[in-house]
């Protein structure tokens, strides 16, 4: 490893250390804050009305006790411990109602005043759950109270494995006791319901997320954990000795599975792979359930105490560790919130354990379940944060895409414009070349012949003819450059005028016949150079008729034909002259100028994809030009 | 033989052409046909020719040494509405012919036309027939088709043309004869030349301001 690399690693380590130390300090602060919070939240009871001196008859022996008191652990509900005591009733004459208030007990109580039972907590399902610190209050019917000393007896039903617990009993005016009761109800009954409702909403959201995004198992795992939590919170536990469904009882101890699921989802949430041995985390929970299904109470409760609660603790420690590691590695909001929540829950869990083992002197108030809401908040916050971040990413991604598409569009436009300009330039150059060639062949030659003729002192007809031919050619070239929109008829219209003008001095009639209404089909692909070729062929035919055939009439027929393979145009030029001799090969023989003319006509026809038919006899010559259905784009025959 | 108009007087022609051989040639052809021909080589000479009296026909080239024939045509049309005006063109190119039509010309003549054709064209013009070529008809018709991008060349007020007149122009552009066009459109053969004269008149810019505007548009006048 090079020195620089080593230095970089050290720097990174230092940075990480600088990150983790404040985090750990913060967690310590959170632990202290949690403990202070628990102390502050501890409900205050009306001590003026406390009744704590009781005699306890347990297992056949009677001894005086001071509440709060722990009984021995027992698994049979027969012969429950009985607390007997007395209180003084002072009638104030205003008919004040008196009540008995039990802030905390486990697991069930039956309270009797002067031998008459006024309260049996076993009828209240939530009161039977040791993890809920349910208080009870019962009004004492006025008829039961005697002035002066009254008897109170409390039977404590204990279903292990924990020892039974009875907190101080309060007897006094209902108005004095009820606020304390309300506070406890709010804290330990209403609040858990609110949290559970919240958890069920979270479960629904997560389930939907998972259904829509199956490839992210984190949502499914978390949804399963939430569902388990909700079921656990809302299912009414069976009251011993009622022999109700074993499974229901077992579900109550589902906490280890729920916590294992949450650990799994945290691992997945942070984008790590869930290790195979992670399955072991579920084993204690499964053992509890299996034990419950096989043996029934009290085995699942014992197993829960021995396996479940430590598993929950282990999971919490794991969570805290995972979150700390994530903060250490990535330092994002979600892992930070998760870590803080895990610390809070872990603190409360330790508090509960200490309370179970009676190391921490308190009223055996279990707060783990309550503090679990901190984790729910962290999960909700984490999900929302992640969702918002994903939305931001989508937004910025969309923005980037839009920018990129616009960029690409611009580039495309530019390249398209370049391409267009290039194509235009190429087309222009092509046209120029063709025009040059045409002018060279026609006008150029004619002008040269005029020069030659005038140099030799010729006068009159020959020069005139050459000059006229040159002018005609010039008009032809100019005319063919005009945009006729693919309608060859427009080019033929101009040609007809020129031909008539040319024929008039020779006293030859031009018979113009358009055999089909539309004349010729439209050719969108028609280019000026096609037009030049066709018009020159027609010119050549007319010139031959004038110069060599001694014709009196020339008939030009324009028509659209269709042989079943689509329409095509046909132009024929027929004269009534004496014709000329055609050679064996169909080429003109004899007069060399005619032969050259015919060769020219054929080559021009070939160039624009047309077919030229020539027939000649003593009754006249007929040139038939069959136009292609589509004119070729390039000069096929070259030259 | 002397060509005469309805009043029995000889038909007078003012020929404005700066190229001497061309001028001689045209003059010969017209004189032989019996017309009374006066010639002018420049715009100034033509103006003094006009001052001497209105000719029956004005034949003018467009490019003159001291100005543009279009100015002469416009002045003549305004001062002598009864004078027939014809442009002499070397190649019969549509733009210059149409420019002349918009200021009052009703016909055009190719400089290389055969002598007999020269005489015939002038006679037809005096008789109320305006010559029109396939390419000029095509040029006008194309202006009647509204395109997003105005084609180059002089602006034409083609909106005044009737569908029938446009049909006639199409026929001419495609090389049909007057008789064929009349047959296709169910007209009498004699009415087609009248329609063409009408087309020429409609294309003419009537008011002075319009004329100036058009002239500026065509770049004939610089403001």
pLDDT-derived band at A143 (thresholds 50, 70, 90) equals confident
The pLDDT value recorded for residue A392 is 92
Minimal Cβ distance to B134: which of A478, A493, A514: A493
- DSSP one-letter code for A298: T
Is B134's CB within 8 Å of A519's CB?
no
**Span A526-557, pLDDT tens digits:** 888 888 889 989 988 888 888 777 788 999 99
> How far away is chain A from the Cα of B223, in angstroms, using its nearest Cα?
31
Q: Does A493 touch chain B (CB under 8 A)?
A: yes
Residues 127-186 of B with CB under 8 A from A: 133-135, 137-138, 172-177, 180
Minimal Cβ distance to A478: which of B91, B137, B138: B91
Probe site for chain A from B95, B133, B135, B153 (most A CB atoms < 10 A): B135
Q: How many CB atoms lie within 10 A of CB A219?
A: 22
**Interface predicted TM-score (ipTM) of this complex, two decimals:** 0.80
Q: Is the pLDDT of residue B60 over 90?
A: yes
The pLDDT value recorded for residue A237 is 67
The pLDDT value recorded for residue B5 is 54
Q: Does A473 touch chain B (CB under 8 A)?
A: no
Is A479's CB within 8 Å of B93's CB?
no
Task: Establish whether the linkage from the previous residue to A68 is cis, with ω within 30° of 0.
Answer: yes
Q: Is the pLDDT of residue B55 over 80?
A: yes
> How far away is chain A from the Cα of B98, in angstroms, using its nearest Cα?
16
Any idea which of A112-126, A215-229, A360-374, A409-423 has the lowest mean pLDDT?
A360-374
Residue A239, phi then psi, degrees to nearest 5: -95, 125
The pLDDT value recorded for residue B1 is 44
Q: Which residue of A has its CA nearest to B112?
A: A468
Is B175's CB within 8 Å of A494's CB?
yes
* Length of chain A in terms of residues written: 639
Q: Does A569 touch chain B (CB under 8 A)?
A: no
Q: Is the pLDDT of residue A585 over 80?
A: no
A-chain CB neighbours of B91 within 8 Å are: 471, 474-475, 478
Any idea which of A299-308, B28-37, B62-71 has the lowest mean pLDDT?
A299-308
Q: Does A490 touch chain B (CB under 8 A)?
A: yes
pLDDT-derived band at A38 (thresholds 50, 70, 90) equals confident
Is B117's CB within 8 Å of A504's CB?
yes
pLDDT-derived band at A638 (thresholds 50, 70, 90) equals very low
**Span B114-168, pLDDT tens digits:** 888 899 999 988 888 888 888 888 888 887 776 555 556 666 667 778 888 889 9
Task: Establish whether the linkage from the previous residue to A298 is cis, with ω within 30° of 0.
Answer: yes
Minimal Cβ distance to A493: which of B112, B114, B174: B174
Minimal Cβ distance to A474: which of B91, B176, B180: B91
**Span B66-84, pLDDT tens digits:** 888 888 998 898 888 889 9
Q: Which residue of B has its CA nearest to A473?
A: B91
Minimal Cβ distance to B91: which of A475, A497, A505: A475
Is A493's CB within 8 Å of B92's CB?
no
Q: Exposure of A172 by Cβ count < 10 A (0-12 exposed, 13-18 middle, 19+ buried)?
A: buried
Q: Is the pLDDT of residue A243 over 70?
A: no
Q: Is the pLDDT of residue A462 over 90?
A: no
> How far away is chain B from the Cα of A411, in angstroms, using its nearest Cα?
27
Q: Give residues with Cβ within 8 angstroms of A555, minimum separation 6.
A: A511, A513, A572, A573, A574, A575
Residues 45-64 of B with CB under 8 A from A: none
Q: Which residue of B has its CA nearest to A488?
A: B174
Please indicate whether residue A386 or residue A100 has the higher confidence score (pLDDT): A100
B-chain CB neighbours of A501 within 8 Å are: 113-114, 117
Cα–Cα distance measured from residue A282 to residue A39, given in angstroms and rounded to the nearest whole number = 34
pLDDT-derived band at A244 (thresholds 50, 70, 90) equals low
Cα–Cα distance measured from residue A484 to residue B68, given in angstroms and rounded to the nearest whole number = 30
Q: Is the pLDDT of residue A470 over 70?
A: yes
Residue of A108, A163, A159, A122 whose CA lies nearest to A299: A159
Cα–Cα distance measured from residue A43 to residue A432, given in angstroms and rounded to the nearest whole number = 103
Please indicate whether residue A298 or residue A136 has the higher confidence score (pLDDT): A136
Mean pLDDT comparison of A70-74, A132-136, A434-438, highest-scoring range: A132-136
Is B175's CB within 8 Å of A471's CB?
no
- Find the mean pLDDT for residues A611-633: 88
Q: Is the pLDDT of residue A404 over 80?
A: yes
Q: Is the pLDDT of residue A635 over 70?
A: no
Probe site for chain B from A488, A493, A528, A557 (most B CB atoms < 10 A): A493
Q: Is the pLDDT of residue B195 over 60?
A: yes
Please indicate whether residue A502 or residue B208 has the higher confidence score (pLDDT): A502
Is A496's CB within 8 Å of B175's CB?
yes
pLDDT-derived band at A242 (thresholds 50, 70, 90) equals low
Q: Is the pLDDT of residue A159 over 80?
A: no
- Half-sphere exposure in the Cβ direction for A309 (13 Å, CA): 22
- Find the mean pLDDT for residues A449-476: 77
The pLDDT value recorded for residue A182 is 92
The pLDDT value recorded for residue A239 is 62
Minimal Cβ distance to B134: which of A494, A514, A519: A494
Q: Does A515 touch chain B (CB under 8 A)?
A: no
Q: Is the pLDDT of residue B207 over 60?
A: no
Share of chain A above pLDDT 90, in %: 13
The pLDDT value recorded for residue B59 is 93
């Amino acid at each position: 490893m090079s020195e620089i690399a080593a230095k970089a690693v050290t720097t990174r380590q230092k940075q990480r250390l600088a990150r983790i130390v404040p985090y750990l300090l913060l967690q310590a602060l959170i632990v202290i804050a949690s403990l202070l919070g628990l102390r502050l939240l501890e409900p205050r009871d009306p001590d003026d009305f406390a009744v704590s001196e009781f005699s306890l008859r347990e297992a056949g022996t009677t001894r005086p006790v001071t509440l709060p008191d722990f009984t021995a652990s027992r698994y049979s509900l027969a012969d429950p411990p009985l607390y007997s005591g007395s209180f003084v009733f002072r009638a104030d004459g205003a008919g004040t109602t008196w009540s008995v208030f039990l802030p905390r007990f486990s697991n069930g109580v039956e309270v009797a005043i002067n031998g008459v039972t006024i309260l049996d907590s076993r009828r209240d399902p939530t009161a039977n759950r040791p993890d809920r610190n349910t208080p009870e209050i019962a009004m004492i019917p006025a008829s039961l109270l005697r002035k002066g000393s009254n008897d109170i007896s409390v039977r404590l039903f204990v279903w292990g494995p924990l020892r039974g617990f009875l907190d101080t009993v309060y007897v006094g005016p209902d108005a004095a006791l009820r606020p304390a009761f309300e506070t406890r109800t709010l804290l330990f009954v209403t609040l858990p319901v609110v949290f559970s409702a919240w958890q069920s909403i979270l479960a629904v959201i997560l389930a939907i997320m998972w259904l829509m995004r199956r490839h992210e198992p984190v949502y499914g795992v978390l949804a399963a954990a939430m569902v388990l939590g909700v079921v656990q919170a809302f299912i009414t536990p069976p009251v011993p000795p009622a022999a109700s469904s074993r499974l229901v009882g077992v579900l109550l101890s589902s906490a280890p599975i729920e916590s294992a699921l949450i650990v799994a989802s945290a691992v997945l949430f942070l984008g790590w792979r869930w290790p195979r041995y992670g399955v072991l985390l579920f084993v204690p929970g499964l053992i509890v359930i299996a034990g419950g299904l096989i043996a029934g109470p009290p085995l699942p409760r014992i197993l829960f105490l021995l396996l479940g609660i430590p598993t929950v603790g282990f999971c919490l420690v794991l969570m805290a560790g995972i979150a700390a590691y994530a903060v250490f590695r990535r330092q994002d909001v979600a892992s930070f919130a998760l870590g803080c929540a895990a610390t809070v829950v872990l603190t409360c869990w330790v508090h509960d354990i200490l309370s179970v083992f009676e190391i921490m002197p308190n009223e055996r108030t279990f707060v783990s379940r309550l503090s679990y809401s901190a984790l729910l908040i962290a999960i909700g916050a984490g999900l929302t944060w992640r969702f918002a971040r994903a939305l931001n990413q989508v937004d910025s991604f969309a923005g980037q895409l839009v920018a990129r598409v616009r960029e690409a569009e611009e580039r495309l436009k530019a390249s398209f414009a370049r391409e267009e300009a290039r194509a235009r330039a190429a087309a222009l150059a092509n046209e120029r070349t063709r025009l040059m060639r045409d002018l060279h062949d026609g006008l150029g030659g004619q002008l040269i012949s005029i020069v030659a003729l005038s140099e030799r002192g010729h006068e009159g007809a020959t020069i005139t003819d050459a000059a006229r031919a040159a002018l005609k050619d010039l008009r032809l070239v100019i005319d063919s450059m005009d945009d006729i929109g693919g309608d060859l008829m427009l080019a033929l219209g101009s040609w007809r005028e020129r031909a008539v003008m040319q024929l008039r001095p020779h006293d030859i009639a031009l018979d113009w016949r358009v055999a089909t209404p539309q004349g010729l089909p439209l050719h969108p692909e028609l280019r000026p150079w096609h037009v030049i070729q066709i018009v020159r062929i027609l010119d050549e035919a007319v010139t031959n008729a004038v110069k060599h055939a001694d014709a009196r009439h020339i008939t030009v027929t324009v028509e659209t034909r269709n042989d079943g393979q689509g329409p095509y145009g046909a132009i024929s030029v027929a004269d009534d002259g004496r014709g000329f001799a055609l050679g064996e090969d169909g080429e003109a023989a004899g007069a060399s100028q005619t032969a050259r003319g015919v060769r020219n006509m054929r080559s021009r026809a070939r160039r624009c994809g047309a077919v030229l038919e020539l027939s000649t006899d003593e009754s006249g010559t007929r040139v038939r030009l069959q136009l292609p259905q589509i004119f070729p784009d390039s000069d096929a025959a070259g030259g | 033989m002397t060509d005469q108009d309805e009043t029995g007087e000889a038909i007078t022609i003012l020929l404005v052409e700066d190229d001497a051989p061309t001028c001689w040639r045209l003059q010969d052809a017209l004189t032989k046909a019996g017309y009374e021909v006066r010639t002018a080589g420049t715009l100034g000479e033509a103006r003094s020719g006009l001052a001497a009296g209105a000719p029956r026909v004005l034949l003018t080239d467009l490019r003159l040494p001291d100005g543009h024939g279009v100015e002469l045509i416009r002045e003549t049309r305004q001062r002598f509405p009864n004078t027939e005006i014809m442009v002499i063109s070397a190649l019969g190119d549509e733009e210059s012919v149409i420019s002349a039509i918009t200021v009052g010309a009703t016909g055009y003549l190719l400089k290389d036309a055969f002598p007999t054709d020269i005489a015939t064209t002038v006679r037809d013009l005096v008789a109320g027939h305006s010559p029109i070529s396939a390419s000029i008809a095509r040029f006008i018709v194309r202006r009647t088709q509204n395109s997003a991008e105005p084609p180059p060349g002089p602006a034409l007020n083609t909106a005044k043309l009737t569908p029938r007149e446009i049909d006639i122009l199409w026929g001419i552009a495609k090389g049909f004869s007057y008789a064929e066009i009349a047959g296709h459109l169910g007209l009498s053969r004699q009415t087609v030349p009248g329609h063409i004269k009408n087309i020429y008149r409609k294309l003419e810019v009537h008011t002075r301001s319009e004329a100036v505007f058009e002239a500026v548009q065509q770049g004939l006048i610089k403001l």
